[in-house]
Amino acid sequence: MTNPVPHEQVPLNEYRALRESFFLGWGALPTRAFWMRIFGLWLVCVLLVSPIAAVSFPWRHHGLELVLWSGLGACVAGSLPIVHLWLGWRYVLQRLNSASITYEESGWYDGQEWTKSAVELAQDRLLVSYEVVPIVRRVSQALGALLLGGGITALTIAALP
């Protein structure tokens, strides 16, 4: 039986599109490059959030508070794109891992379902095991690092006199 799923909705093609995407492709980068991008994202967030924090905490009188609030804001702001990255890779993981695929044939919300052959399912699950799961794990670690950093910063702010 031939695959009736439109080309762009085939899970393997969705995976390839994700890998080639500018932002979502970060997950597929080598480990060092991935973490450098995450750190760069955090630095950009610090630069964007610092002027806002500086309005409430002038550097001359509240330097520590300015640094802490800027760091907290950067962790919160930086976690949003990482959540987007995580959701994109989780979606592809679920589509590759699923035995049947829901797809839209014409764009009129006429959802159809197609069952993968045993060979396609085995190939997709191998891809999930060796490529996608490590990516999702690494993106989860990045999100956890930002949230942990934000939590520690928030506790530090709460402990200030």
pLDDT digits (tens, 9 = 90+) for 83-134: 999 999 999 999 999 999 998 877 677 788 999 999 999 999 999 999 999 9
**Band of pLDDT at residue 2, cut at 50, 70 and 90:** confident
Q: How far apart are the first and last CA of the chain?
A: 70
- Least Cα distance to 99 among 6, 9, 11, 1 occurs for 11
- Total domain count for the chain? 1
Location of structure tokens 């630069």: 47
Q: Pseudo-torsion of CA 106, 111, 114, 115, nearest 10°?
A: 160
Query: Per residue in 126-149, is it b (16+ CB within 10 Å) or e — as a string?
Result: ebbeebbeebbebbeebbebbbeb
**Band of pLDDT at residue 61, cut at 50, 70 and 90:** confident
Domain extent, residue 153, equals 18-159
Instruction: Note whether residue 11 is domain-resident.
Output: no
In the chain, the percentage of residues whose pLDDT exceeds 90 is: 84
Does pLDDT of 1 surpass 70?
no
Instruction: Note whether residue 28 is domain-resident.
Output: yes
pTM for the full model?
0.90
